[in-house]
Amino acid sequence: MSKKWQYYNDVNEEEIKKIQEKYKINKLLATVLVNRNITAEKAEIFLNPTRNDFYNPFNMPDMKKAVERIIDAIHKKEKVVIYGDYDVDGITSITVLKSFLKDRGLNVSEYIPNRLSEGYGLNKEAVRKIANDGNTLMITVDCGITGVEEVDYAKTLGMETIVTDHHEPGEEIPNAIAVVDCKRKDNEYEFRELAGVGVVFKLTQAISKRLSLDEKEYLKYLDIVSLGTISDIVPLVDENRVITKLGLKLVACTKNLGLKAIIEEIGMKKVDSSVVSFGVAPRINACGRMGFANEALKLLLSTNCEDAKNLAQSLKKYNNDRQSEEKKIFDEVLIQIKKQKLEDENSIILAGENWHSGVIGIVASKITEMFFKPCILICLQNDSNIGKGSGRSIPGFDLHEALMKCQDVLEGFGGHSMAVGLSMKKQNFDNFREKFYKIVEEANIKDVEPIIKIDSILNVNTISKEMVKSLNLLEPFGEANKNPIFVFKNLKIDSIRALTEGKHLKLSLKTNQNTYIDAIGFNMGNLSEEYKIGDKVDLAGNLEINSFNDRNSIQINLKDMMKSI
């Protein structure tokens, strides 16, 4: 699939120079900042945020009500339960709130629904169990905003609810004691894009202020808050950037035994947003996907080094199991795509017997990335008439809106424009696929191309290690603050080979001035058959320092490549 290289237009050279001079930084770094709409006035907070850059938590909807009810529960020594989600955002949300409230002397337990048998969010059976255990207050984290019926049901059982969430509300919000969610229509809080754990962090900040506690009582959890924020793929700008920038500094010296054990198990000396996204997060998520979310929570709440080490090894095993399931389903999906000639369809809709419902979302994401078209995968179980599915989309096609038009053949669905979960009766699969194909056809997405946003065209001869290292100031990278991509033109291939059984690509290139630079292309090994030594090429990729055998050299992390014109 060819990709479109999109350059920034009308670069503001005056603003670039202004930032350069004010912050004594190089032009490349200043250019990237301007590309991200960071002005000279905003650059200080972006580059060097402090704890003074957090917004007032009491500006959030219902925050005052939530704080007063929780403080009342502390004084009365009530029995309180935290109801969370099974992903990293949910697990870190429970970890932070439970730890904070426990330090306040509150008797607090937690409930995490099983992904495979209960699914996401509040459910009445769980609410009944929680009430029967004698809890008088339920606090939801990373869920609850759509649980209108469940919150009402809790009330009939004599249990009050505080909802903290970051998802979009429906037409009606739950009739809870407080509903703390910046996506509410009446929201006046300065930032709408906090993760679930970010909302919990603001709650602990607000309680600390009301009780006149030292700032460290809530700031000490920023390592865990940053972990959940980065993992949930929320935009890493504004207050999320403050959280993650400060939080990653704490991760480097974390006192959380569980987080430390995961990092040691991975074997990384330096932890940045990439290590969180591709190292730490998958292991925690794997627990929920495989039906063992409580194991991840136990790890992050662990107070014993040996227990933490053993649990970290368990997480590694769950992740290995998840990877095995993922590969098995992925291979089966590719066989079906080829057999049914779905490469020519406008979307890919497939069902498989006994596919793992906790893993198909990852596979759907890979298929969407590979073929650049919407993909929905349905797992069918032998002992059930209901198939559970997961879907991923491409920019320009609203997956949730499409499912709204298919409600008559669905049992249920939820999500957003780019990712959905759904369920249907087995006998409705063919009807659903036919309807969906028609919706995608009418959307006319054939001409939509994957876009690579280019920050600047660079000359290899003028790049220095200091220049590349300066780009680390842009960390943490993530949604809305991607690792900058640069274009390098008219380079001659000096050597080219595939690595790891043909999976990855390794290149050595040289300029007209005989300056050499290496490039690595992960999952791009197939290009070794399309290009040969001597070819002149243009490359798009990130700049990084490759440390190998105590030798540091500049390297291009390849994102795309084409022959020079």
pLDDT grade for 11, boundaries at 50, 70 and 90: confident
Secondary structure, 3-state, 361-398: HHHHHHHHHHHCCCEEEEEECCCCCEEEEEEECCCCCC
Separation of CA 524 from chain center: 23
pLDDT tens-digit profile of 54-70? 999 999 999 999 999 99
Check which CATH number belongs to the domain holding 377 and give it: 3.10.310.30
Average pLDDT of span 90-119: 93
pLDDT(454) > 70: yes
> In 267-409, which residue ranges form alpha helices assigned H by DSSP?
273-275, 281-289, 293-301, 305-339, 360-371, 399-404
Same domain, 314 and 344: no
Same domain, 112 and 176: yes
Predicted pLDDT at 1 = 57
Distances (CA, A) of 6 to 323, 386, 449, 455: 34, 43, 11, 9
Query: Tokens in use for 91?
Result: 């697990």
pLDDT grade for 556, boundaries at 50, 70 and 90: very high
Separation of CA 23 from chain center: 31
pLDDT tens-digit profile of 393-420? 998 899 989 999 999 999 888 777 888 8
Predicted pLDDT at 379 = 94
Same domain, 87 and 184: yes
pLDDT grade for 84, boundaries at 50, 70 and 90: very high
Average pLDDT of span 337-355: 92
Predicted pLDDT at 168 = 85
Query: Tokens in use for 102?
Result: 């426990």
Predicted pLDDT at 417 = 82
pLDDT(549) > 80: no
Predicted pLDDT at 269 = 79
Predicted pLDDT at 114 = 85
Q: Does the global pTM surpass 0.75? A: yes
One-letter amino acid for residue 176 of the chain: A
Predicted pLDDT at 344 = 86
Query: Tokens in use for 242?
Result: 């403050």
Q: Annotate 100-157 with DSSP letters as a single string.
A: HHHHTT-EEEEE---TTTT-SS--HHHHHHHHHTT-SEEEEES--TT-HHHHHHHHHT
Residue ending a domain, among 328, 354, 371, is 328
Cα-trace Rg, the chain = 25
Task: Indicate the SS3 state at residue 457.
Answer: strand
What is the residue range of 544's domain?
4-8+451-563
Q: Is residue 25, in this structure, part of any structural domain at all?
A: no
Is residue 61 a contact partner of residue 186, using CB atoms and an 8 Å limit?
A: yes
pLDDT(347) > 60: yes
Of 219, 184, 194, residue with least CA distance to 204: 219
Predicted pLDDT at 3 = 87
> Could you count the other beta carbons within 10 Å of the beta carbon of residue 369?
14
Distances (CA, A) of 228 to 49, 164, 199, 217, 258: 19, 15, 11, 19, 14
The Cα 160–Cα 126 span in angstroms is 15
The Cα 318–Cα 292 span in angstroms is 8
Burial-class residue 121 by CB neighbours within 10 Å (0-12, 13-18, 19+).
Answer: buried
Same domain, 243 and 258: no
Same domain, 62 and 203: yes
Q: Is residue 353, in this structure, part of any structural domain at all?
A: yes
- What order do you get walking across the sheet with 160-164 strand by strand? 107-111, 79-83, 137-141, 160-164, 178-180
pLDDT tens-digit profile of 244-269? 999 999 999 999 999 999 999 998 87
The Cα 417–Cα 374 span in angstroms is 11
Residue ending a domain, among 207, 230, 248, is 248
pLDDT grade for 116, boundaries at 50, 70 and 90: confident
DSSP summary character for residue 483: P
Residue 209: phi and psi, rounded to 5, are -65, -45
Count up the domains in the chain and report the number.
4
Same domain, 91 and 183: yes
pLDDT(457) > 80: yes
Check which CATH number belongs to the domain holding 537 and give it: 2.40.50.460
Predicted pLDDT at 97 = 98
Same domain, 198 and 139: yes
The Cα 457–Cα 135 span in angstroms is 60
pLDDT tens-digit profile of 181-232? 999 999 999 999 999 999 999 999 999 999 999 999 999 999 999 999 999 9
Same domain, 209 and 68: yes
Is residue 117 a contact partner of residue 298, using CB atoms and an 8 Å limit?
A: no
Same domain, 82 and 164: yes
Same domain, 321 and 349: no
Same domain, 429 and 364: yes
Residue ending a domain, among 213, 248, 283, is 248
pLDDT tens-digit profile of 517-539? 999 999 899 999 999 999 999 99
Which range (136-140, 373-377, 511-515) has the least confidence?
511-515
Degrees to nearest 5, angle at CA 519 with 473 and 540 = 70
The Cα 234–Cα 55 span in angstroms is 18
Distances (CA, A) of 272 to 171, 181, 233: 39, 28, 15
Same domain, 96 and 149: yes
Query: Tokens in use for 125?
Result: 């059976």
Predicted pLDDT at 464 = 93
